[in-house]
Structure 1
């Protein structure tokens, strides 16, 4: 008897093959390639070469291991210090933006909706104070789930099963009333994705995102007990692989002419603020919209008192449609849609002194206008 394939998996196979062929397209005669990227020069790409080099040197001074700039789909230049360009390294919370893409793929497949109650996928929340928290709430950081420095940065990280720990926390505030950079709340998306797709999250990422994008040096990690995928941190990648990921969003969710994310989902993620509580946040992405800004900390102090946000843009002087995946210690994958430029920096660092304002100098200062 012939085996009948589910239409979804037929589509997956076709898209994966088409994307692979797109990445194998020969470069123009005489053009060089670096790790699969067709290359150009800073001058040809419209940069002041000396200024761009200075931006890279500044990145290096913050203990960076790589810095890369891509414009119009071509690698302008990448710098690597002490680590080979194809050696994967920790990206910290850049992982969150990758998780956002995984949710977007599941939404496009029809496996879930952003406004679904999380309790549809996390049955332990049914009949509790968290019953009305939605998937969108988790991704916007307005879920109202419990947060503390000790819980988010010590107990969660040390938990043998991080997803189970995150699910087991309490509801602290009504949904939509408080913005908190809540790692534990985001980790619950591992369970949401596993239940909705029927696939382990790291495997889903490998087959539905990394492989189609040609991210051959990238993978998601799992917790100590190997029971859950880390979705709030933990992706191991390279500067040039993250540039491939950023290009997906620059191209409005398609690669090689084949769509991976819905255009409307990309806009909701990086084209607007996801709540009035933090103008700088989309759906697990940082955006450059003007308004009340909060950084990657809770907006209430340890005594539960509100912290007054500042007003402005995350990156003053840069375009309002700039957006970034940002991780601890200055990990960043930034996209400037207006100039069609991608800037990526990775490195262990010892402080958070490197951030989006410094990375943005590649487009606000080094790029000719």
Structure 2
């Protein structure tokens, strides 16, 4: 187990309430997962192979303390996949396997993946200006300011739009104003992310939900749907569906023998440092193992790893109320946590991540 000091940021984060009503170089030098070693559950079926803690020679004595911790922290669903097979699937606090739970900002990873498919289909290029698809005057900017913002800026939280507005989810014209030159400052601004769904809709000449369903969801057997909550566009699904998406990304965009995201250059860009302002952020994916990070609601940079006790090659989708999707290529692990706020009311990263990984390490090491 790695022994590291938890960054001071998490002490600050634990006392801070969310300021939003929101209703990620190569990942690792470890060998990539071998597709032949990975199991993929069948499409349109509840069948899913299992493997046991005992078969994996994990620490059975750490199992119940993990469950106690999860239940205490308002968890509803928790899944661990090893090589694609279910090791743990538990539901707490009155939840059931059929429940659809919100991904919140963990769902940003779904949109990042879908953008990659659209680019692969030659329907857009992330280096194009946003107004190619949003049209002119989508924001309260001059023509030159508008032209300088690219789709990639939206993917990397570097549009330069003003995040000091009263509602950072607001995508109305008057809420989208100039603050910084694009690419010169990183800030976790939900509105600029949400606009990607409109970009996909215009680029694909269909609605976002339909393109996502046909390009990603249906191809891997996910359930769920996108729901508008105010300005936010939130995905709801079962925990198993989140696990399926994690497994797809563990195998770099291929489901069994079905190559869904064949553009491996895009996949690498999506899951590695995407700009020089926040080492721990890719294209809407959070990245562990970096020397510093920025976090939602903060303007400053913090030293140290995002999740000190987690594997360095971990990539993650992290959402409000501690929705967690962890993918660990070096260990062929996918881990899902869905539920209610663990106690910090934060948008994404929180000290709960590290606390949970301490418990996970006690089990798997």
**TM-score, normalized by length of structure 1?**
0.79
Kept in 2, the 8 Å contact 1:276–1:292? The answer is: no
Aligned match of 2:180 in 173, 186, 196? Answer: 173
Instruction: Summarize deviations over 1:151-174 as a string: whole Å, max 9, x none.
Output: 215xx2xxxxxx5x2686112110
Residue of structure 1 equivalent to 2:275: 275
Query: Partner of 1:351 in structure 2?
Result: 344
Residue in 1 aligned with 2:86? 75
The residue number in structure 2 matching 1:264 is: 265
The RMSD of aligned alpha carbons is 2.3
Shift in Å, 1:351? 2.9
Deviation at 1:289, TM superposition (A): 3.5
Describe the superposition over 1:2-34 as per-residue Cα deviations: whole angstroms up to 9, x where unpaired: xxxxxxxxxxxxxxxxxxxx7449xxxxxxxx9
1:117 to 129, 134, 138: 129
Find the aligned partners of 1:54 and 1:149 in 2 and give their Cα distance.
Answer: 43
- Superimposed CA distance per residue, residues 310-357 of structure 1 (whole angstroms, 9 cap, x where no aligned partner): 111111143321111000111101011111011110112253466322
The aligned residue for residue 73 of structure 2 is 62
- The match for 2:17 is none
Larger relative contact order, structure 1 or 2 (CA cutoff 8 Å, min sep 6):
2
1:316 aligns to 2:327 (yes or no): no
Does the CA-based 8 Å contact 1:181-1:297 persist in structure 2?
yes
Distance 1:366 1:223, change over 3 A: closer
Q: Are the aligned partners of 1:290 and 1:311 in contact in 2 as well (CA < 8 Å)?
A: no
Superimposed CA distance per residue, residues 158-216 of structure 1 (whole angstroms, 9 cap, x where no aligned partner): xxxxx5x2686112110111110010110110111011111111122222211111112
Q: 2:281 & 2:191 partners in 1: Cα distance?
A: 17
Aligned position for 2:362:
365
The 5 Å alignment of 1:72-151 reads: 72-81=83-92, 82-125=94-137, 127-148=143-164, 150-151=166-167
Does structure 2 retain, via aligned residues, the 8 Å contact 1:117–1:132? yes
Unaligned runs of 5+ in 1: 1-21, 26-33, 157-162, 300-306
Cα separation, 2, equivalents of 1:103 and 1:97: 10
Q: Is the 8 A contact 1:205 1:220 kept in 2?
A: no
CA distance in 1, matches of 2:54, 2:174: 51
- Which residue in 2 is equivalent to 1:16? none
Structure-2 change in CA distance of 1:199 and 1:113 (3 Å): same
Q: Size of the alignment, in residue pairs? A: 315
1:4 corresponds in structure 2 to: none
Contact 2:309/2:354 (8 A) holds in 1: no
Shift of residue 364, structure 1, vs aligned partner? 3.2
Match of 2:255 in 1: 255
TM-score by length of 2: 0.80
Which residue of structure 2 aligns with residue 331 of structure 1? 323
Report the Cα distance in structure 1 between the residues aligned to 2:287 and 2:354, rounded to whole angstroms: 12
The answer to whether the 8 Å contact 2:201/2:207 transfers is yes
Gaps of 5+ in 2: 1-39
* 1:101 positional shift: 1.1
- In 2, Cα distance between equivalents of 1:319 and 1:212: 29
- Cα distance in 2 between the residues matched to 1:267 and 1:355: 27
The CA distance in 2 between the partners of 1:166 and 1:336, in whole Å, is: 40
What residue in structure 1 maps to residue 227 of structure 2?
221
